[in-house]
A and B are shown apart, each in its own frame.
Chain A
Amino acid sequence: AQSVSQHNHHVILSEAASLELGCNYSYGGTVNLFWYVQYPGQHLQLLLKYFSGDPLVKGIKGFEAEFIKSKFSFNLRKPSVQWSDTAEYFCAVNASGGFKTIFGAGTRLFVKA
């Protein structure tokens, strides 16, 4: 069965610090990978996704993620965080061509101004 592991449940950073949130999945086939973000008081929204091509994908607000197939990882990065990046971040995976989507437990990021 598919599963997604997010290693950091809570992260606290100061503004301008660099961010990397880990995500590992278990599935042997071709996958689609997603990062979603939930800002306080808002609904979940897509940050970025990977389904084929360049394994380094760029999303909104300066976020990027790198798909490393050999490591079953899809880590999220941002070189310099802002206070407005305070949110909960979810990694998700589904099988290519399939719709059942498995989410990680989420990482709560708090950025100190």
Chain B
Amino acid sequence: GAGVSQSPSNKVTEKGKDVELRCDPISGHTALYWYRQRLGQGLEFLIYFQGNSAPDKSGLPSDRFSAERTGESVSTLTIQRTQQEDSAVYLCASSIQDSNQPQHFGDGTRLSIL
């Protein structure tokens, strides 16, 4: 398929462990976004990448969170020393260059911290 792909779809880990979430955007999409959605809440912006520009990290909640993107391809979101409050669905989206263009979302990674 040509959609946004996220892996794993589910992740259960113990408090204190590091986790890495992966996102494969739609080919040709220069913009890539990460969001967090806690149970019963809306989407919380975390970070976006746009082409070769510096990423906007203003939504990352703490220095335990980091994200990387190689060129215009795969992105990884890493959470270090996970805490129970990190439990949420992490959504990735991609879009073509213009900000007025719609974002195409993946199915998300459901992260559960025990």
Interfacial residues, chain A to chain B (CB-CB below 8 A): 6, 32, 34, 36, 43-46, 49, 51-52, 90, 92, 94-106
Q: How far is the CA of A88 from the CA of B44 in the complex (A)?
A: 16
> Is the pair A103, B50 in contact by a Cβ cutoff of 8 Å?
no
Q: How far is the CA of A106 from the CA of B39 in the complex (A)?
A: 12
> Is the pair B105, A45 in contact by a Cβ cutoff of 8 Å?
yes
| B interface residues, tally (CB under 8 Å) | 25
Q: How far is the CA of A52 from the CA of B100 in the complex (A)?
A: 9
> Is the pair B42, A104 in contact by a Cβ cutoff of 8 Å?
yes
> Is the pair A100, B56 in contact by a Cβ cutoff of 8 Å?
yes
Q: How far is the CA of A75 from the CA of B42 in the complex (A)?
A: 17
Interfacial residues, chain B to chain A (CB-CB below 8 A): 3, 31, 33, 35, 41-45, 48, 50, 56, 58-59, 91, 93, 99-100, 102-108
> Is the pair B102, A105 in contact by a Cβ cutoff of 8 Å?
no
> Is the pair B91, A99 in contact by a Cβ cutoff of 8 Å?
no
Q: Total contacts A to B, CB within 8 angstroms?
A: 58
| Chain A contacts for B104, CB-based, 8 A | 45
> Is the pair B33, A101 in contact by a Cβ cutoff of 8 Å?
yes
> Is the pair A97, B43 in contact by a Cβ cutoff of 8 Å?
no
Given contacts A90-B42, A94-B99, A105-B42, contact A100 B105 (CB under 8 A): no
> Is the pair B105, A43 in contact by a Cβ cutoff of 8 Å?
yes
| Chain A contacts for B41, CB-based, 8 A | 105-106
Q: How far is the CA of A101 from the CA of B98 in the complex (A)?
A: 12
> Is the pair A46, B56 in contact by a Cβ cutoff of 8 Å?
no
The chain B residue sitting closest to A32, CB to CB, is: B100
Q: How far is the CA of A34 from the CA of B95 in the complex (A)?
A: 14
